[in-house]
Structure 1
Amino acid sequence: MNDPFDTARLRHAVLSSWASSPTRFREDANAEEDLYLGGYRDRLLVELAQNAADAAGQDARLRVSVVDRELRVANTGTPLDRDGVASLASLRASAKRDGVGRFGVGFAAVLTVTDAPRVVSRTGGVAFSAERTREAADVTGRVPVLRLPWPTDEPPPDGFDTEVRLPLRDDVDPAALLDEFADQAVDLLLSLDGLTRVEIGDRVWHRDGDELHAPDGVTRWVTVRDSGELPANLVAATEQRPQWTICWAYSTDRAEHPVLHAPTPTDERLSLPARLIATLPVETTRRRVAPGPATDLVLDAAIRAYPRLLDHLEPAARTNLVPLPDFPLSEVDDKLRQGVLGALRATPWLPRPTGDPVSPAAAALLPVDSPALADLLADVVPGLVTAEFAAPEHAAALAALDTRRLHAADLVAAVTGIDRDPAWWHRLYDALAPLAEVDADAREALGALPVPMVDGRTIPGPRGALLIDADLGAVAIGDAVHPDAAHPLLERLGARRGGAHDLLDSLRDDVERSVDDAESGMDLTDLHESVRALVDATGARPGERPWLAALALRDSAGDWRRADELALPDSPLLDLLDEDTPLGVLADDTARAWPRDVLTAVGVLDTFAVVVDESPAGPDHDLADEQDWWESLPEPPTRMTAVRDLDLVADDAWPAVLALLAASPETWQALHEPHGYTGWWIGRHALLDGQPPRTLRMPDADALAGLYDAAPPDLAPSVLRAVGVRDHLDVTDPADAEDLLDRLADADRPVGAGATMRAHAALARAVRDGDVAADEVEAPIAVRTLTGAVLPAAEGVVLDAPWVLGVLAPERAVTVGLDFDLAEPLADLLDLPLATEVVVGVVRERAEPVAWTDLGAVVDACDLVGVPVPPGGPIVHERLTVRIGLIDHEVPWWVDGGVVHCTDTTAGLARALAWATAHWPARHTFAALLDDPDTLLP
């Protein structure tokens, strides 16, 4: 058989050495066993792939298959040569030169699965066999398999340059072995720089640049590689190859990669998120990295290269590459962790909203994941990164890099003092709102957020500011947030929500001091524009906000005056006031510039102004004689509306004034308010036909004719009643009583008997009911009697009993009518005696009493009238005489000490019966029935 690699010579040399030195045989056997049972016990595929990568350079392909229980590992690259075969058979020597590999001592790993490995190549092949070695060495037991090569003429498969063929021992499961190799495929591609493709059975892994693709076509790894030359002194000291290489590999599946590869796996545990494969000096066991300058140089290069992995990841995935705080797992791990953290901390890789990256050391994180907030603050906060890095999943990584996380107070400080339009501030509040919802501390800090106001100012914090609901344009109100900036967050932070009404109310202080401000030279233009716009927006009515009347406006002479001290130039009110009225006229230019309803709402007079107080506390509304009105009320009012400036009306203008008041709903209501000030004042101080209204009667109140003059008939009855014009007698106070008594004492007044009695009865009831105290009224000097005549008061008596009229001259009797119970209070009021006190009579004749029930006509009369027959009975006289002083008077009836006397006549019996039944007004009915019981029959 052809022997291109002169294996016969190699076998002869080995067999000769064994023959000359039996210990050499045992040394070779032990060394080989140490290799495949020790350092290479689990490195079969790794070692074969390593040798394949060394042989192929930068584009090695590896294929692993099982054919008839024979494991075959094919590779591309430099085929087998004489030196390579010598290396295979030497155990210690290696043919690796200038970075191009051949099979070396690592080939001993094949003995873990076979006793008869073969290597076939385009240039020839060699075979090893434990059985043939025993025969050649004439020994039994364990032998060094890889010391004696034999030639073989098997060709490699098409497309490959070399193939290792390993007949599997019976205890090896081919399928399990392929699965084990499949688990190592990624490790091979990552660890071996020259290897680009691995086929295991029907599964293929391949590397394309910095990306590694799995059999399913998904990119699962990204890599960063670097290389360099070791200084000559380090090469000599470590026996390393001059060139060093590193590869950082990161799995997008984020699987654990716990050990360092140098370049094959070692026992150096790492806690980094990425795998490091580097040509580091290792101990002879290939399990541990050999410390020293060469190791430090390569690790430093690895640290510098690590941040380049970030370029292969989407921004949101980059923090996965940050080693999280943990205890280092080895000295190498400690060095790498610290170095990588320092490199990541200083490298600009965190994206900013502006596009340019920033290093974690110079970066600032938002307190909340808000892209909108990040965009707004990108040019405000130095180093601000995109919002996604504020999410919780990035917190631990960025904390490990000491990246500064902003708090709400930092954001407030950053935006304080910057100049932005109101809409920008609204967007900022909107972005910060979620933070305020979940974090009480943040909410407190946000309370200092700048807030743009309508007047152009920016205030530090929204507390007390006013959020406007309505669209009020550019009304310049100091307390109002600019409408374009208004946001619910501001209300959460202490702003008040309201519309035009609230905004208008916020001007109260400015309005109330506006006259002083104007007189001191202050420009009121903004205030005027604000008031005008807000009054118009609210639809405020005259008197609705009394404080608006203090607004300073110019009068026709150019002076500043309160709005309620001015009238519109064309106001009809001007023709109704006194010539010396203090009321001014509004300047023409203001009257033309402002809507009329706005001017009247702020208090400028078009008609009479109305004062409205929903909860009056006292007579403090600056109304004429208000104190007197308040004291006249039976109890304080719970609400009041009152027309002001009534004391400025000209005496002859009152009919027109009343018509004007009746024409406006506001003044009409004030005029008609029960017990209201307006009607009270007009009733006492206005003049209709030269008299106050309360001294007049309604034109149709005929019962008051003579006592009061009729009011002008051209005014509405409701208006006349509202201002006190009388339609009935009503005595409510001492003034009413004195006025009525004066009218009764006026002999020029044609007061009839009926009106006189009604007037006396009204006066007596006022005294009886306590409305008028008799000692509060000055007694009249004259009184009007039953006949209608006016008599000096000293000559009059008050009729308190009807029988007295039988002897008393009617010209002296002052009567209350038929209700004699009112006689005593009237007498107190008039300071007159009662008639029964002056006229004291004695019945002259004696007679017998008669029971009422014994008088049939009386019984029938009571039955017809519907009253019970009274108990007892009168003393009936044939003739009844009463002596008054020295004079006898014949009378039809009399009452003496409560005993009723009467003559046996219709007149006497009827009066006695009416008095006894307390039905005095029915006396004439009784008389008719006593004369003729059929009087009431139809």
Structure 2
Amino acid sequence: MTADVFGTAALRGAVLEAWRASPARLREDANTEEDHARGYYRDRVVVELAQNAADAAARAGVPGRLLLRLTSDPDGPRTLVAANTGAPLDAAGVASLASMRASAKRDGPPSTVGRFGVGFAAVRAVADDVVVCSTTGAVRFSLDATRAALAETAAREAAHGRPDLAAEVDRREGSLPALRLPWEAADRPPAGYDTAVVLHLRDDAAADAVRGLLAEVGDALLLALPALVEVVVEDDAAPARRVTGVTDRWHVGTAEGELPLALLADRPVEERSARRWRVTWAVPRPGAGVRPPGVVHAPTPTDEPLSLPALLVATLPLDPSRRHVAAGPLTHAVLDHAADAYAALLADLAASGRDVLDLVPTGLPDGPLDAALRERVVAALVRTPLLVPAAGEGLVAPRRAVLVRDLTDVAAVRALGTVLTGLVHVPPAGRTAARVLGVEERTLAEVVDDLPAGEGLDWAALYDALEPAAADPRTRESLGALPVPLADGRTVRGARGTVVLDPDLADALAPGTLAILRAGGLRVVDPRAARPLLVRLGAEQPDASALLAHPAVRAAVLAQADDDDLAHAAQVTDAVLDLVAALPAVRDADGPVAADVVPPDAAGWLGLLTLTAADGEPSPAHGLVLPGSPAAGLLDDRVLAPVAIDVLDRWGPAVLTAVGVRADLVVTRVPDVVTGVLADDDPDDPAALAAASLDGWSEYVDHLADAVGAGLYVGDLDAVADLDAVAEDAWLGVLARVASRPRLRAALLTPVRAEGSPVPLPSYAAWWLRTRVEPALPAVFALAGSDAPAGLLPPVPTAYAHLDAEVLRALGGVGSLAELGPADWDEVLDRLGPPGTVVPPQVAGRVWRAWAAGGVPGTLAPDVVVALAGPAGAVMAEASSAVVADSPAWWQRRDLGALVPVPAGADAAQVAERLDLPRASELAEGRVDEPGETEPVPEGVAELLAGAPAVWERHDDLRVDGEPVEWWVEGAGTDARVHAVHVAALAAGLAAAAGAWHLRAAVEALLVDPGRPDAVLDLVLG
């Protein structure tokens, strides 16, 4: 007989008496137990047993250990033993177990979990027979024992005429409350444990259900029940497991406190004394292989989903099912504390070096409670230092943080962080979380715009860090306004327009050189900040040549040319000459150098550098000559003076000649020449600078316009400079020098071509020499061996006979009349005399053949022409009254004006175009007025003229367009109609029709005396 240490008899008696007195009470108890077992707690038996174990450990103040042992042998007992350490079972505990919603833990410590007295009902989901044994005793709850006790009590009631209890028992068909009647038991807990709950499982299904629940036991249980430090799971169908040490796998953060009483006013009376709140968050440690369960624990699992990547255990109020959080102010208050606790945990994690952006809630919430919690969490995280700054110590709160949207390079962001407060680096995977937290996103261009331009910044480190990122063209564009410190202490925005000097070049220059050039506008980057990034962003990195051509250097030279402060001008000159001396071609030269060692764009304005002449006067470099040089022997020292000896000694001939001091005749290139257009007198215009040293340049461009028309583009033109400075007795030497030096010779001989015109034009040197050289040259003259008629062209002047033919051609010499250009013909025709002057036949023939040959393209358009006019034959005639005869037949038409014959085989249209004259056929129709009498062409003519027609027409009076003629031809070849008034005319017509005008005399002889073939042979053979 087991001792009744917990007063179980009295408890049973009281319950049975209540059921006897009110069978409805039995019904209520049975329904309540059934609701909890089959509804609210149907899958909570393990959790509820663990909760009781945790509460027992908390009450005893000892570490809680829980053993869960499942025995499910089909041939043996199927039991679940839940043994725990902690406070043993007492009478109050037994009374609580035997009641519904009357927990004995109401006045327990704050860390206890159970408060409602209903969790133990979960055992009814899997068992009808339950034993709770402890070191202080044991009790048993049994459906069978309850059924027997009820049957006995119901029978007594029925015997006394009260059948209601028996009827209620029968109506329930065995579904009775097993947990209301405790019975004495003799069981003891396993060794090492203070209390054990032994469930005699109902069947295999119950065993399988328990096994599934045991398989889910893990870290979440210990995290939800912190009083437990160990859970051992033993299953006879699986290896034993020991769950402990959760902090090895989870980062845990806990907060607790006391709630205002007003927040619990709408909660049940049993809960109003539980004013303590507690929140625990657990975040998986990286690599621990664990993950949050995805539901809220309060403190045991609920059905409320949680999308945050952490486990939450909070003292949230639950509805009667204990599966859902009850809405109301209490829940809101606990959620506020939960959000703050989560932010504090993430702050600790961030401080330890963990990236916490993956713990920020993103996406859509999983329910109303989740949404409410996420909103609070985000609000708390926004003001919590979580983000690692790009540079420096400490953490940055999201609301004070800035990230660069279009820059992912870590080193580049870190470098920017050194000069921009609040800048953080957020990898692409964390950008969504950063947006949720309200981190300000800015483009790299915006960040660069805000970079300070003060002193003390390590620009070199910043540029080096940004260099890899600048490989992306989009990044380079964003860095366009990057601050750049200059050597003069200023800081400018943007690398474009700045100059990064090679250290070797900087070392080669005198200390004052860069200072002078900077004062002229050269923006040199501070050498400490000179980095490849700046070049990639548009800064120039010139060598000595490119630096010399820099606009700032040019501006300094132009400014000193007009500077009244000679001392400052001298400083600028020295600085530029120092730069010229750094050119490799100048540095390595032993003597004078050609002007092309400097950049082409610089050659013109470098000549404006102010130097000192031998007489002590300041002079531009291109106005001086090198003593003892060929230039000194050819040029008049009254025009171009020698440079001072001390200047020569200081800088040497290479530097001086590179900037324009003359050591020889030089070639100047004038860019973008246009016919008839003179460059403005503007020092910023390279063409104006280049043309300044060319005498008569404006006349020359007008000459080009006269030849081919104004406004035609010529392009770059090379010209021999300083021709107006040649000494009076040096012309022959100058010509010899020009003829012997390749570049000078090319500048003389190369004809100028205007865009859109085929006419070759004289070079500047050829034009100048033909018009100004002494002794004067004829405008045009005949070269040795020329076919020009004697006296028509003068011979080569004796003084120039030693020059080669190419040079003489450039100076006006021609080998034949066909080589004459438009201006030359005007000169030649003027030599033949005024209009009306008779021209010898041989001269006239040469002129006409030259016009037909067209050796020079373009239109000649002379004012006077050699033409047939009147009985005198060839005479000089006004071009305005002349026409080109299409064929010999038109030579008879003196009514049309002076006639320019076209040699046999030549194209009359081309001749007319060259001379800019009309053709006769354009002025008259050439129609025979009346037909003649048709006669056959005499035999023998066909043998002489293969292309002659077989018949001809005889006329007594032949008129064409009303004008009398002796013969005419309509058409050509064998189909031609030849008209004639006598034999000589017929011969001319047949020869013209057959295209054999040179045989007309032979044809005439054959027609006069067909029996004299020897005479014809003489004519044919000459």
Could you state the TM-score of these two structures normalised by the residue count of structure 1?
Answer: 0.66
Tell me whether 1:74 sits opposite 2:113 in the alignment. Answer: no
Counterpart residue number, 2:720: 643
Q: CA deviation at 1:376?
A: 2.0
| 8 A Cα contact 2:548 2:602, kept in partner | no
SS at match of 2:549: helix
Counterpart residue number, 1:610: 668
Post-superposition Cα deviations, 1:352-381, rounded to whole Å, max 9, x if no partner, equal 122421112222222235223321211222
Q: CA deviation at 1:473?
A: 5.3
| 8 A Cα contact 2:72 2:207, kept in partner | no
Q: CA deviation at 1:411?
A: 0.9
Output aligned runs, 1:17-96, within 5 Å. Answer: 18-19=16-17, 22-23=20-21, 27=25, 30-31=28-29, 33-35=31-33, 37-38=35-36, 40-56=41-57, 57-68=62-73, 70-78=78-86, 80-83=88-91, 86-87=94-95, 89-91=97-99, 92=102, 94=104
Q: CA deviation at 1:247?
A: 0.9
Counterpart residue number, 1:567: 625
Post-superposition Cα deviations, 1:1-28, rounded to whole Å, max 9, x if no partner, equal 554x625x42255226634872378646
Equivalent position amino acid for 1:554 in 2: L
Counterpart residue number, 2:684: none
Tell me whether 1:405 sits opposite 2:441 in the alignment. Answer: yes
Equivalent position amino acid for 1:322 in 2: V
Tell me whether 1:177 sits opposite 2:210 in the alignment. Answer: yes
In structure 1, distance between residues paired with 2:111 and 2:676: 112
Task: Pick the aligned partner of 2:695 from 603, 611, 624.
Answer: 624
SS at match of 2:437: helix
SS at match of 1:48: helix
| 8 A Cα contact 1:35 1:41, kept in partner | no
| 8 A Cα contact 1:699 1:713, kept in partner | no
Equivalent position amino acid for 1:504 in 2: A
In structure 1, distance between residues paired with 2:781 and 2:15: 159
Counterpart residue number, 2:396: 358
SS at match of 1:94: coil
In structure 2, distance between residues paired with 1:413 and 1:503: 32
Output aligned runs, 1:328-343, within 5 Å. Answer: 334=372, 336-337=373-374, 339-343=376-380
Could you state the TM-score of these two structures normalised by the residue count of structure 2?
Answer: 0.61
Q: Which is greater in Rg?
A: 1
Q: CA deviation at 1:117?
A: 0.8
Equivalent position amino acid for 1:564 in 2: H
Counterpart residue number, 2:769: 682
In structure 1, distance between residues paired with 2:726 and 2:368: 106
Structure 1 gap ranges (5+):
212-218, 742-755, 777-818, 820-853, 864-870, 872-897, 901-913, 920-928
SS at match of 1:73: strand
In structure 2, distance between residues paired with 1:727 and 1:233: 125
Say if 1:534 and 1:459 are closer, same or farther in 2 by CA, change over 3 A: farther
Across the aligned residues of Structure 1 and Structure 2, the Cα RMSD in angstroms comes to 5.8
In structure 1, distance between residues paired with 2:196 and 2:184: 14
Say if 1:282 and 1:580 are closer, same or farther in 2 by CA, change over 3 A: closer
Task: Pick the aligned partner of 1:578 from 623, 636, 639.
Answer: 636
Output aligned runs, 1:641-680, within 5 Å. Answer: 641-674=718-751, 675-680=762-767
Counterpart residue number, 1:116: 129
Say if 1:315 and 1:739 are closer, same or farther in 2 by CA, change over 3 A: farther
In structure 2, distance between residues paired with 1:570 and 1:66: 123
Tell me whether 1:379 sits opposite 2:389 in the alignment. Answer: no
Say if 1:72 and 1:916 are closer, same or farther in 2 by CA, change over 3 A: closer
In structure 2, distance between residues paired with 1:410 and 1:102: 55
In structure 1, distance between residues paired with 2:182 and 2:357: 54
In structure 2, distance between residues paired with 1:628 and 1:332: 92
Aligned length in residues: 772
Q: CA deviation at 1:48?
A: 0.3
| 8 A Cα contact 1:566 1:605, kept in partner | no
Equivalent position amino acid for 1:349 in 2: L
Post-superposition Cα deviations, 1:424-482, rounded to whole Å, max 9, x if no partner, equal 34754764775947xxxx96x866554567987644456x7489999995686858896
Output aligned runs, 1:542-557, within 5 Å. Answer: 547-549=604-606, 551-556=608-613
In structure 2, distance between residues paired with 1:527 and 1:31: 110
Equivalent position amino acid for 1:94 in 2: A
In structure 2, distance between residues paired with 1:286 and 1:916: 137
Q: CA deviation at 1:224?
A: 1.2
SS at match of 2:196: strand
Tell me whether 1:223 sits opposite 2:252 in the alignment. Answer: yes
Post-superposition Cα deviations, 1:652-706, rounded to whole Å, max 9, x if no partner, equal 222322232234322110122243232343344434xx56487988788899999
| 8 A Cα contact 2:318 2:324, kept in partner | yes
Task: Pick the aligned partner of 1:166 from 188, 199, 202.
Answer: 199
SS at match of 1:246: strand
SS at match of 1:117: strand
Counterpart residue number, 2:871: none
Say if 1:364 and 1:197 are closer, same or farther in 2 by CA, change over 3 A: same
Equivalent position amino acid for 2:47 in 1: V
Equivalent position amino acid for 2:708 in 1: E
Q: CA deviation at 1:149?
A: 3.6
| 8 A Cα contact 2:665 2:721, kept in partner | no
Q: CA deviation at 1:611?
A: 3.6
Counterpart residue number, 2:798: 710
Counterpart residue number, 1:308: 344
Post-superposition Cα deviations, 1:306-328, rounded to whole Å, max 9, x if no partner, equal 22321347977523443458789
Say if 1:327 and 1:711 are closer, same or farther in 2 by CA, change over 3 A: same
SS at match of 1:74: strand
In structure 2, distance between residues paired with 1:288 and 1:774: 120
SS at match of 2:46: helix
Say if 1:772 and 1:362 are closer, same or farther in 2 by CA, change over 3 A: closer
Say if 1:700 and 1:917 are closer, same or farther in 2 by CA, change over 3 A: closer
Counterpart residue number, 2:555: 510
Does 619-628 or 115-124 show the bigger shift?
619-628
Counterpart residue number, 1:825: none
In structure 2, distance between residues paired with 1:78 and 1:305: 29
Counterpart residue number, 1:208: 245
Task: Pick the aligned partner of 2:531 from 464, 484, 491.
Answer: 484
In structure 1, distance between residues paired with 2:390 and 2:737: 71
| 8 A Cα contact 2:636 2:725, kept in partner | yes
| 8 A Cα contact 1:515 1:561, kept in partner | no
Say if 1:664 and 1:76 are closer, same or farther in 2 by CA, change over 3 A: farther
In structure 2, distance between residues paired with 1:207 and 1:559: 102
In structure 1, distance between residues paired with 2:558 and 2:583: 18
In structure 2, distance between residues paired with 1:238 and 1:406: 51
Say if 1:258 and 1:681 are closer, same or farther in 2 by CA, change over 3 A: same
Q: CA deviation at 1:648?
A: 1.3
Counterpart residue number, 1:723: 811
Percent of aligned pairs with the same amino acid: 29
Post-superposition Cα deviations, 1:519-541, rounded to whole Å, max 9, x if no partner, equal 35465366666677689799656
Tell me whether 1:259 sits opposite 2:296 in the alignment. Answer: yes
SS at match of 2:658: helix
Say if 1:286 and 1:734 are closer, same or farther in 2 by CA, change over 3 A: closer
Equivalent position amino acid for 1:128 in 2: F
Counterpart residue number, 1:107: 120
Structure 2 gap ranges (5+):
155-168, 170-174, 507-513, 587-594, 679-690, 752-761, 834-839, 853-858, 867-902, 904-937, 945-951, 953-981, 985-997, 1004-1012
Say if 1:114 and 1:281 are closer, same or farther in 2 by CA, change over 3 A: same
| 8 A Cα contact 1:189 1:196, kept in partner | yes
| 8 A Cα contact 1:129 1:145, kept in partner | yes
In structure 2, distance between residues paired with 1:248 and 1:53: 18
In structure 2, distance between residues paired with 1:287 and 1:454: 74
Equivalent position amino acid for 2:127 in 1: T
SS at match of 2:766: helix
Output aligned runs, 1:866-877, within 5 Å. Answer: none
